[in-house]
Amino acid sequence: MTSELLIPPVDTAQRGALDKVVKSYDVRGLVGSELTEPLITALGAATADELELAGEPLVIGHDMRGSSPAFAKAFARGAVARGASVIHIGLGSTDESYFASGSLNAAAAMFTASHNPAAYNGIKLSRPGAKALSRDTGLGAIGERAAAYLEQGIPAAAVPGSEREQNVLADYAAKLRSLVDLSGIRPLKVVVDAANGMGGLTVPAVLGSAAGLPELPLEIIPLYFELDGTFPNHEANPLDPTNLVDLQKAVLEHKADLGLAFDGDADRCFVIDELGQPVSPSAVTAIVTIREVERARAADEEDITVIHNLITSRIVPETIQRLGARAVRTKVGHSLIKAEMARYNAVFGGEHSAHYYFRDFWGADNGMLAAMHVLAEAGSSCRAVSELAREHTPYVASGEINSTVEDVPGAYTRIVDAFQDRGEFDELDGLTVTGSTSRDEPFWWFSVRPSNTEPLLRLNAEAADEATMAAIRDEVLALIRQEA
């Protein structure tokens, strides 16, 4: 390191913003008031140092938000100052950045705020090989280093870094085609809502011929493929049912076989059946589980593991166990799932939030790949997607319900007192209570988890029938929201 300050200090008031934007699993905040180019430059330098990238490659990609290109350049400026060899991949999806990180064995920074509104932006960081970073495994240290650089300036590395551009879209598309063969399926009509996000770039490349690949037996009907970070049609958050309405209408109008909805950075995908009804991410997890376990069995694997988080439907572990594979239940969280995928060499992992993880994709999540599995399953038989969904949705779920709670321990105590003689307790990531498995009582369970950042409790409930689920849901909600 030389004593020369390549980038001088900036207003130290930005130091406080770092504490707000460095989250548990990524960097995210409001553009201008929280995320600024000097702050991003400091994070770039800090990332290069923390990940020891002097002389090593660093992939930088970005989504279609208005601030993303400038932020990508600002991050590169800091990283190059500290000696990193930056590879700009330009516009892309988050899973495309994972592809670049994995195939090039390079660290990666993806500029996106995923499904958040237009006023936000952020960074998803990966170690080489698409390995996740969390606050506890490097992201917190990056924030601390960045704070020092904001206050003291960024010195030049002994050996300067470099920058070059590389387009990886065609290779990314070819990789996915190699993992799920759709060439022999029956013709399918598919409506795709890209929500003006990065699916507008990746869907034509992977499911079409825009990247030079052969045509597939798919008729793609596009909705909102124009890249526009202001999201003029609806937010790019398919977890919100209001953002699925246009897709549901289009599926019915076009008499399509199914619909696909991507979030802003196109790493998550939601499925709509031919009747216009959403297919739960747990059902998609079960469908993909069967395909991935069977593929591993065909390769003569014996010790097969599938990961699921604790609030996926009970059908997921039941499916895994029925197939003779090992089901590993985890806490909720992107980096946690990735870590468990690596620990167990798991063939697949699924979350309730429509993140799907694949061993053959460096253990990273890829919504497009999950969608391709659904297309392959639907296209390899004459069964409708609604029939596939019903088969893998035997239980009734509440969905996640948030409650503002100032006294979280008090709420826990009330729940324990009310259910101590009625079920089994599990304290992995909050509190999970599973009802009696007696034949005389319907099956049920619920999970109550605290938010990491807000005074919230998150409730998920599931049961064998609607009446039982509603009764459990309402009873637990009353306990959570009871005034002290």
Active site residues: 114
Distance of CA 256 to the CA centre of its chain: 26
- Which residues 6+ apart lie within 8 Å of 397 measured at CB? 280, 282, 313, 460, 461, 462, 469
Q: How far apart are CA 401 and CA 54, in angstroms?
A: 46
Residue 284 to residue 271: CA distance in whole angstroms = 8
Separation between Cα atoms, residue 182 and residue 186, nearest integer Å? 9
Strands 401-404 and 423-426: unpaired
- SS in 3 state form for 343-384? HHCCCEEECCCCCEEEHHHCCCECHHHHHHHHHHHHHCCCCC
Bridge partners (DSSP) listed for residue 370: none
Helix or strand (DSSP H, E) at 284: helix 281-298
104: Cα separation from own chain's centroid: 21
Tokens representing 123? 């960074």
List of residues 6+ apart from 16 with CB closer than 8 A: none
- Tabulate helix, strand, coil % of the chain (nearest 5): 40, 25, 40
Distance between start and end Cα atoms, the chain: 58
Cα distances (Å, whole numbers) of residue 402 to 240, 330, 372, 445, 451: 14, 21, 32, 17, 9
Tell me which residue of 16, 6, 82 sits closest to 44, measured CA to CA: 82
**Dihedral pair phi/psi, residue 316, rounded to 5°:** -70, -55
> In angstroms, rounded to a whole number, what is the distance separating the alpha carbons of residues 471 and 436?
15
Amino acid at 321: Q
| Radius of gyration of the chain measured on its C-alpha atoms | 23
Instruction: Report the C-alpha gap between 465 and 122 in whole angstroms.
Output: 41
The amino acid that residue 293 corresponds to is: V
